[in-house]
């Protein structure tokens, strides 16, 4: 008992900390130390542990208390486990030589911060087994257990915590100590399965078979993990409390065996994370390229169509063009507006992810930059601008042409009837006529000239209409010109013939007799009345184009004035007919038998009667046409008011939503997630409002189809609403993306919400342009109507940024400020965006991966080789990441590498170099 007390040891460190592991925990433990079972377990375990290191020097021990007596193998053991050289040993075989060597070993142990108590060289030289085991336990503690560290615990507690963490998921395993917790063997099996599940099937183990479990674990450890068998299963099972030192020594071998595997696992995880980020970014780049190509191709196809201003010849064809344009604005363009906005959002998100992961910025293919797409889109909208106005102008022109063509036809038909007078003017009846007949012919010719002069205005009107049709590029202008020319030729010919006939009649004027005054009066009164009726018929059949109720009311008033003159005209008609009745009365009274024909006029009473009946028939028809037009204009007015009522609601609604988005984006105190929630709710409200826009589009289509071109009830046009709606959709999407980018940056950089608020507060305080634009109503009008480009909105210039940094405590010299500006403004634009500001504030403290870290991780997987093999990649990495590396890693070109070796250094550097896309 006294002897055992003397060999109790305690390890002291230089800092005065006393490691109690060298002491037993209670009196029962002290008694158990004398148990031969404990001694046997320690002897076997410590011997195996020493041999696991001595074999590296080509030797081993058989008897632990005998083989260390001369101190030579003890010194060799310390050199192997420490990697340091000890003083040269004494080679003599005398006792003092052995004591000197053992003292050298003990001095080395002391130099490592361990103070040995009650262990002397003489006891070791004399083969004292208790002292020898105590010394070896001291060495094991110092070199195998002391440096173990797990979650801020070290040595024994660290090793115990490591075991608990690794075995926690396994059933029937509860590691609380280094003795009875290991008796059933399941804890050993769990440690093996956790790191090498391929070596055993834990689900098939039985807690009631401790012998089988222990032997299985010990055999696998020796065969596959290079851990020598340090314990006997029977000794552990048959001992009420297995020796803690033996178990702890054996378990520490498992820790050191798996430490390298865990290091490799950590390295593999880091590599997988880096490769995963790279693969995801490449997919985003490819998706951007595809979407950009499709959008640019659509713009390329659409722009020439909008630039084509070739007019069609008919109203129907131009109406089809207008309908095609409406389909484009309502169906084809809106999805492309969303695609363009989403493309910009994807580009910004990708650049943020690349920046966060220390990757270079994404450079799209030539011609597919965001600026290229914006330029192409601007060209599209430039082509689109004025296209609808051109279509409507062309439709008005064609409508005017159709009206003029119809009016030309009516005038032509009325005037061309004079062509039958050529025969009358060309006849030679005066050659055989009597004097009375000659004089009658002269009077008749005078009446004809009067009638011809009455048609002069109509001929001039025909020429004027033809001229206007030529100027408006009427599609059948050739036929119009041909008809106009025929009228002019006929008129010239009639003039010539009229002049010739007058000259002939005047030459024989002395042969004329007095003409019946009644016929003459009939002729003089019937001709103007006939012309009045023809003019009235022409006016009553005249086509009209009006666009307002007031214009129709003006036509109705004029028509009412015309109807007021009908009683007077009817009195004149009856008077003229009375002249003809007087002629017949005289003829009957004087018994004139000859066929009495008025020699002074070609107008007959039957003709006058027919025309008068036609005038009376046309009057109610004109009434009906004007009333129909009045109803149509009232319908147009309802369409105007219906459109205006909706537009006057939608316009301010869009403006209000823009103000809400602006206020939300300016909030600083709240969490980004709260702002995101508000923006998402606002987006939901905006999307739900879309049917109102569609209904307004339908009202606008009805107005256009009705050829209504103005609306005094509203200042909003459909184009204003369309532009405002598209701006609203783009603004909400971009604002949401900005908040998402800030959240992504905050989480990736490890920024707290309070820090983010402080950053935003500092940034906003010095963002002078941002504060100038607080009046959202004025901003909305400016953006909506004028659409300027203000690149400073939401950014700081150089002076603002310097003042912001100084206010945050930076001591800025010119060189330091220049360095910072190179980081936040690499393109030297003189502008610092909020995203650049956040990146700067977090860059130097962020925990991001680097090329050097990835190289170090690959070096661990490659076992410190400068190259790595295909089999090693496939063994250490998941299949997808392994194949990704194999396809992209260049071959290693250094010396001494086997065929197929890969250069992981060049590959890791390339991950952080220029992008191929």
pLDDT digits (tens, 9 = 90+) for 272-296: 878 888 888 888 888 989 999 998 8
Q: How many CA atoms lie within 13 A of 333 on its CB side?
A: 18
- What is residue 771's predicted lDDT score, i.e. its pLDDT? 38
The pLDDT-based confidence of 26 (bands split at 50, 70, 90) is: very low
Closest residue by Cα to residue 380 from 303, 484, 318, 471: 303
First to last CA, the chain: 80
Say whether pLDDT at 419 is over 60.
no
Average pLDDT value over all residues in the chain = 78
Give the distance, in angstroms, between the CA of residue 31 and the centroid of all CA atoms in the same chain.
77
pLDDT of 468:
67
The predicted model gives 1-10 an average pLDDT of 30
Rounded to whole angstroms, the Cα distance separating 144 from 155 reads 9
Query: How much is the average pLDDT of 504-533?
Result: 68
**CATH 1.20.58.60 placement within the chain:** 271-414
* Contacts of the segment 875-883: beta carbons below 8 A, 24+ positions apart: 876/264, 876/267, 876/268, 877/268, 877/271, 877/272, 878/272, 881/271, 881/272, 881/275, 881/276
Structure tokens at 113: 């911060």
Q: What is the DSSP string of 256-302?
A: HHHHHHHHHHHHHHHHHHHHHHHHHHHHHHHHHHHHHHHHHHHHHHH
Give the pLDDT confidence score for residue 506 in this predicted structure: 64
Phi and psi of 19, rounded to 5°? -80, 115
The CATH H-level superfamily of 851-912 is EF-hand (1.10.238.10)
Q: Label residue 366 exposed, middle or buried (CB < 10 Å: 0-12, 13-18, 19+).
A: exposed
Whether 577 contacts 611, CB under 8 Å: no
What mean pLDDT do residues 358-384 have?
88
Label residue 433 by pLDDT band (50, 70, 90): low
Question: Which of 105-119, 181-195, 487-501 has the largest mean confidence?
Answer: 181-195
**Confidence label for 306 from pLDDT (cuts 50, 70 and 90):** confident
pLDDT > 70: percent of the chain: 77
- Quick: pLDDT tens for 661-705: 888 876 666 778 888 899 899 999 999 999 999 999 898 998 888
Q: What are phi and psi of 645, to 5 degrees?
A: -60, -45
How confident is the model over 622-641, as pLDDT tens digits? 899 889 988 988 998 898 89
Least confident stretch, 38-52, 108-122, 325-339? 108-122
Quick check: helix, strand or coil at residue 31? helix
Contact between 697 and 718 (Cβ < 8 Å): yes
**What pLDDT, on a 0 to 100 scale, did the predictor assign at position 43?**
87
pLDDT tens per residue across span 168-218: 889 999 999 999 999 999 999 999 988 888 889 998 999 999 999 999 999
pTM: 0.55
| 489 vs 738, higher pLDDT | 738
Say what the pLDDT of residue 435 is: 55
- The topology (CATH level 3) of 36-268 is Actin-binding Protein, T-fimbrin; domain 1 (1.10.418)
Residues of the chain with CATH 1.10.418.10: 36-268
For residues 709 and 707, give the distance between their C-alpha atoms in angstroms, rounded to a whole number.
Answer: 6
For the residues 545-562, what does the mean pLDDT come to?
A: 86
Where is average pLDDT lowest: 71-75, 350-354, 570-574, 757-761? Answer: 757-761
* Per-residue pLDDT at 777 exceeds 50: no
DSSP letter assigned to residue 391: H
Quote the pLDDT of residue 477. 67
Cα dist from 453 to 569, 676, 732, whole Å: 22, 84, 74
pLDDT of residue 489: 67
Among 208-217, 231-240, 362-371, 584-593, where is mean pLDDT lowest?
A: 584-593
For residues 571 and 774, the model is more confident at 571
Band (pLDDT 50/70/90 cuts) for residue 849 is low
Q: Residue 430's pLDDT is what?
A: 58
- The overall longest dimension of the chain from CA atoms, in Å, is 193
Q: Which fold has domain 271-414?
A: Methane Monooxygenase Hydroxylase; Chain G, domain 1 (1.20.58)
How large is the average pLDDT for residues 429-454?
Answer: 68
| Mean pLDDT, rounded, for 329-338 | 88
Quick one: how many helices (H) and strands (E) in the chain? 38, 6
CA 608 to CA 451: how far, in whole Å?
A: 15
Number of other CB atoms surrounding residue 168 within 10 Å: 12
Per the structure block, which two tokens stand in for 736?
């949401």
């Amino acid at each position: 008992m006294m002897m055992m007390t003397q060999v109790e040891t305690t390890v002291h460190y230089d800092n005065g900390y006393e490691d109690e592991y060298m002491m037993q925990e209670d009196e029962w433990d002290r008694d158990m130390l004398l148990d031969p079972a404990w001694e046997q377990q320690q002897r076997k375990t410590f011997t195996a542990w020493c041999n696991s290191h001595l074999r590296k020097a080509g030797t081993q021990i058989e008897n632990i208390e005998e083989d260390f007596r001369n101190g030579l193998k003890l010194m060799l053991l310390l050199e192997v486990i420490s990697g340091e050289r000890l003083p040269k040993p004494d080679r003599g075989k005398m006792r003092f030589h052995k004591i000197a060597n053992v003292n050298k070993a003990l001095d080395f142990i002391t130099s490592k911060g361990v103070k040995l108590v009650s262990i002397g060289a003489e006891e070791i030289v004399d083969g004292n087994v208790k002292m020898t085991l105590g010394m070896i336990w001291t060495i094991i503690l110092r070199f195998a257990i002391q440096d173990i560290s797990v979650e801020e615990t070290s040595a024994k507690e660290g090793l115990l915590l490591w075991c608990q963490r690794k075995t926690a998921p396994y059933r029937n395993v509860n590691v609380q100590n280094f003795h009875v917790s290991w008796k059933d063997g399941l804890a050993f099996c769990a440690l093996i399965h956790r790191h090498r599940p391929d070596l055993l099937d834990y689900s098939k183990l039985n807690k009631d078979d401790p012998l089988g479990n222990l032997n299985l674990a010990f055999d696998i450890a020796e065969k596959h993990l290079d851990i020598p068998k340090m314990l006997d299963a029977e000794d552990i099972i048959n001992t009420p409390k297995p020796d803690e030192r033996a178990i702890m020594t054996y378990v520490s071998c498992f820790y050191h065996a798996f430490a390298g595997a865990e290091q490799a696992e950590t390295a593999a995880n880091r590599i997988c994370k880096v490769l995963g980020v790279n693969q995801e970014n490449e997919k985003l780049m490819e998706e951007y390229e595809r979407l950009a190509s499709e959008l640019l191709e659509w713009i390329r196809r659409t722009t020439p169509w909008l630039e084509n201003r070739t007019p069609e010849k008919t109203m129907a064809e131009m109406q089809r063009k207008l309908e095609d344009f409406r389909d484009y604005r309502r169906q084809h363009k809106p999805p492309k507006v969303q695609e363009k906005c989403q493309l910009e959002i994807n580009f910004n998100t990708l650049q943020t992810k690349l920046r966060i992961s220390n990757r270079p910025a994404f450079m799209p293919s030539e011609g597919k930059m965001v600026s290229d797409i914006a330029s192409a889109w601007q060209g599209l909208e430039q082509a689109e601008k004025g296209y609808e106005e051109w279509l409507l102008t062309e439709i008005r022109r064609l409508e005017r042409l159709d009206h003029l063509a119809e009016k030309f036809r009516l005038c032509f038909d009325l005037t061309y009837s004079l062509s039958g007078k050529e025969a009358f003017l060309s006849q030679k009846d005066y050659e055989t006529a009597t004097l009375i007949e000659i004089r009658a012919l002269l009077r008749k010719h005078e009446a004809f000239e009067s009638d011809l002069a009455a048609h002069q205005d109509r001929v001039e009107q025909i020429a004027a209409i033809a001229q206007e049709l030529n100027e408006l590029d009427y599609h059948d202008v050739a036929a119009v010109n041909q008809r106009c020319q025929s009228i002019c030729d006929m008129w010239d010919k009639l003039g010539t013939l009229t002049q010739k006939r007058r000259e002939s009649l005047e030459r024989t004027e002395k042969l004329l007799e007095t003409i019946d005054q009644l016929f003459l009066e009939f002729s003089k009164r019937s001709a103007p009345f006939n012309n009045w009726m023809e003019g009235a018929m022409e006016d009553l059949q005249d086509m009209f184009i009006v666009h307002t109720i007031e214009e129709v009311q003006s036509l109705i008033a004029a028509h009412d004035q015309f109807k007021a003159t009908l009683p007077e005209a009817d009195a004149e008609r009856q008077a003229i007919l009375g002249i003809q009745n007087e002629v017949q009365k005289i003829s009957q009274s004087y018994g004139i038998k000859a066929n009495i024909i008025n020699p002074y006029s070609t107008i007959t009473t039957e003709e006058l009667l027919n025309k008068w009946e036609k005038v009376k028939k046309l009057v109610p028809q004109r009434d009906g046409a004007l009333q129909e037009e009045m109803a149509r204009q009232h319908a147009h007015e309802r369409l105007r008011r219906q459109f205006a009522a909706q537009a006057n609601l939608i316009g301010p609604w869009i403006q209000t939503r823009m103000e809400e988005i602006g206020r939300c984006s300016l909030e600083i105190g709240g969490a980004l997630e709260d702002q995101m929630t508000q923006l998402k709710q606002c987006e939901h409200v905006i999307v739900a409002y879309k049917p109102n826009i569609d209904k307004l589009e339908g009202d606008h289509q009805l107005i256009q189809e009705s050829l209504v071109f103005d609306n005094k009830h509203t200042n909003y046009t459909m184009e204003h609403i369309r532009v405002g709606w598209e701006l609203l959709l783009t603004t909400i999407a971009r604002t949401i993306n900005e908040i998402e980018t800030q959240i992504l940056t905050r989480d990736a950089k490890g920024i707290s919400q309070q820090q983010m608020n402080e950053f935003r507060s500092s940034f906003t305080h010095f963002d002078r342009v941002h504060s100038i634009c607080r009046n959202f109503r004025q901003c909305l009008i400016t953006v909506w109507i004028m659409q300027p480009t203000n690149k400073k909105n939401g950014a700081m210039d150089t002076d603002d940024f310097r003042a912001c940094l100084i206010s945050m405590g930076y001591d800025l010299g010119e060189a330091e400020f220049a360095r910072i500006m190179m980081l936040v403004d690499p393109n030297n634009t003189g502008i610092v965006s909020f995203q650049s500001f956040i990146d700067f504030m977090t860059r130097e403290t962020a925990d991001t991966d680097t090329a050097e870290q990835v190289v170090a991780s690959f070096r661990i997987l490659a076992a410190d080789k400068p190259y790595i093999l295909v089999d090693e990649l496939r063994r250490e990495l998941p299949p997808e990441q392994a194949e990704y590396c194999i396809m992209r890693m260049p071959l290693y070109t250094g010396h001494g590498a086997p065929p197929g070796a890969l250069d992981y250094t060049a590959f890791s550097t390339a991950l952080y170099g220029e992008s191929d896309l």
